[in-house]
Structure 1
Amino acid sequence: MTPPGDGVRTAPFQENAHAVSPLQDGDREARHRWVCGVSYDGRGFCGWQKQPLQPGLAPSIQTTVERALSAIAGQAIEVRCAGRTDTGVHALEQIIEFSSPVARPPTAWVRGANAHLPDTVAVRWAVPIPADADFDARFSARARTYWYVLIDSPVAPPLWQGRAGWTHRPLDVVRMQEAARTLLGTHDFSSFRAAECQAATPVRTLEDWTIERHGGFILMRLTANAFLHHMVRNLVGSLVYVGDGRRPVSWLAEVLAARSRSAGAPTFAAGGLYLASVRYEAPWSFPGRGDEPLSLAGLI
């Protein structure tokens, strides 16, 4: 990783720019496969997914990571991820998978790739998997965990701009916890999906929604088998209405039952959302974060 303030040591990023042809799915058996954990600050990017090249468009995180890995492999690398994050959303641990035409040690994919990455993106670890392994970073995942960082203070804190959601109204965490419990389990979450969501079904299983106050911060942890587009931010937006007293505790369940996006509160800020961890079933065991306790130290 480049030292703070040094920026990027490679040429300017270009979306979809590769010197050679990208890796094809049919080539995987003859290549070396890797799974990596990647963390990033979502500010300054157009989100995870590659976008068509447009003047003035910020780079995607996917293109940024692929460019760094390609520099180590000496050939274009394409990655698959566990979950595509939106513009401004961060990751404590995104899981990626890729195939390489050349053998490299784990340190090359970690320290080597980080030397080609900006200060706001880092490969944390790299683990090899068999070339013929039945594994896909996205479809093999059994659960995903997101954290949401929320601040309730009279004035928006400048040092947390783009890193936390904010409301000027004081929030009652006990009310929020009570309301959140009513949404645990398997439900139709149509009221909390974005209009442009492309998921085949709105049914999801929300396993956990933990809410804790840490001084001036309210930290949330949400775990589900999968999340709909904007689902976490829409859940947080409606929960804030309960926490500040604008709606009763029972309102969140009413919004869920309506199965209409218009029934809920506005989508909350992207900057407070962090993809925290991804869970896989045996035999896949990676050196990831897991479901660690909520704390501001956990954001490091």
Structure 2
Amino acid sequence: MKNIKMKIEYDGGRYLGWQRLSNSDKTIQGKIENILTNMTGTKVEIIGSGRTDSGTHAKGQIANFKTDSTMAFTDMLDYLNRYLPQDIVVKKLEEVPERFHARYNAVGKTYSYRIWNNTIPSAFERNYSYQYPDKLDIDKMNEACEKLIGTHDFIGFSSLKKSKKSTVRTIDEIKIQREGNIIRFTFTGNGFLHKMVRIIMGTLLDIGAGVMESEYIDTIFKSGVRSQAGETVPAQGLFLEEVYYTK
């Protein structure tokens, strides 16, 4: 039996997230599994590197599935992209060792978040960025990012109420880049809690707009209380860029 690794790109705007749901066919996982099952003639389940929320996009989601199919990978790729909706694209297929697991073997991820920083909305950017009209101080946000980088308990920047699992994560790098009206934030780390990037973004925007000082990051870490952090920004500005694995 082959273990096949997939690289997937999708516009999550009209889907209820990655994870398959029993009461809806509007999930990324569900759509891909249905096509794979039709293609191979046997039920196929795929394992994703992690769940993306409703409305979140991906340029480099990774998943794997196992199959006895003898179909050539080029034919599989053609079949998938012919029958999948146009807003879900399988970019690459490759055979990997039997023990490869897209979620458990992941050692890091990069997410990006896009802000449309203008008082006038954009007809073209509305589905792929969050309009934030207030002036933002990039230097202050960079100061706050320095406090976020490193290994911390990020429970205060998560939607999790309580967790038996560790909420300690390491952020290796945060970049902020302005290109005209777009400000792009890029986060790379060993893993991210539920809604962690979107809550960090809400906090950074408060700091950039002068609502909150960068020192308040320390207070949120110390208290671990979600309500002390900024709002959860909308999902449409969030992209899963890349998932990393050891060689």
Q: TM class by shorter-chain length?
A: over 0.9
- What is the CA distance between 1:215 and its match in structure 2? 1.0
Separation in structure 2 between the aligned mates of residue 124 and residue 250 of structure 1, nearest angstrom:
42
Normalised to the residue count of structure 1, the TM-score between the two structures is 0.79
Normalised to the residue count of structure 2, the TM-score between the two structures is 0.96
Q: Aligned residue for 1:47?
A: 17
Please tell me whether residue 120 in structure 1 is matched to residue 87 in structure 2: yes
Check the 8 A contact 2:157/2:200 in 1, yes or no. yes
Please tell me whether residue 244 in structure 1 is matched to residue 176 in structure 2: no
Q: Tell me: CA distance 1:40–1:254, structure 2 relative to 1, closer, same or farther (3 Å).
A: same
Separation in structure 1 between the aligned mates of residue 142 and residue 121 of structure 2, nearest angstrom:
24
SS of the equivalent of 2:39 reads helix
Check the 8 A contact 1:39/1:93 in 2, yes or no. yes
Check the 8 A contact 2:25/2:31 in 1, yes or no. no
Please tell me whether residue 214 in structure 1 is matched to residue 184 in structure 2: no
Number of residues paired by the alignment? 247
SS of the equivalent of 2:233 reads coil
- What is the CA distance between 1:256 and its match in structure 2? 2.2
Letter in 2 for 1:245: G
- What is the CA distance between 1:246 and its match in structure 2? 1.1
Separation in structure 1 between the aligned mates of residue 210 and residue 116 of structure 2, nearest angstrom:
16
Check the 8 A contact 1:179/1:253 in 2, yes or no. no
Please tell me whether residue 81 in structure 1 is matched to residue 28 in structure 2: no
Separation in structure 2 between the aligned mates of residue 141 and residue 266 of structure 1, nearest angstrom:
28
Q: Tell me: CA distance 1:121–1:215, structure 2 relative to 1, closer, same or farther (3 Å).
A: same
Q: Aligned residue for 2:188?
A: 223
Structure 2 residue runs of 5 or longer lacking an equivalent are none
Deviations 1:49-75 (A, max 9, x none): 01122xxx5611101011122222122
Check the 8 A contact 1:189/1:203 in 2, yes or no. yes
Q: Aligned residue for 1:173?
A: 138
Q: Aligned residue for 1:8?
A: none
Which of the pair has the greater relative contact order for Cα pairs under 8 Å at 6+ separation? 2
RMSD: 1.4
Separation in structure 2 between the aligned mates of residue 100 and residue 134 of structure 1, nearest angstrom:
14
Letter in 1 for 2:128: R
Check the 8 A contact 1:197/1:228 in 2, yes or no. no
Separation in structure 2 between the aligned mates of residue 61 and residue 262 of structure 1, nearest angstrom:
31
Check the 8 A contact 2:114/2:238 in 1, yes or no. yes
Greater fraction strand: 2
* Structure 1 residues 1-300: aligned runs within 5 Å: 31-53=1-23, 57=24, 59-130=26-97, 133-195=98-160, 200-282=165-247
Query: Greater CA deviation, 227-236 or 105-114?
Result: 105-114
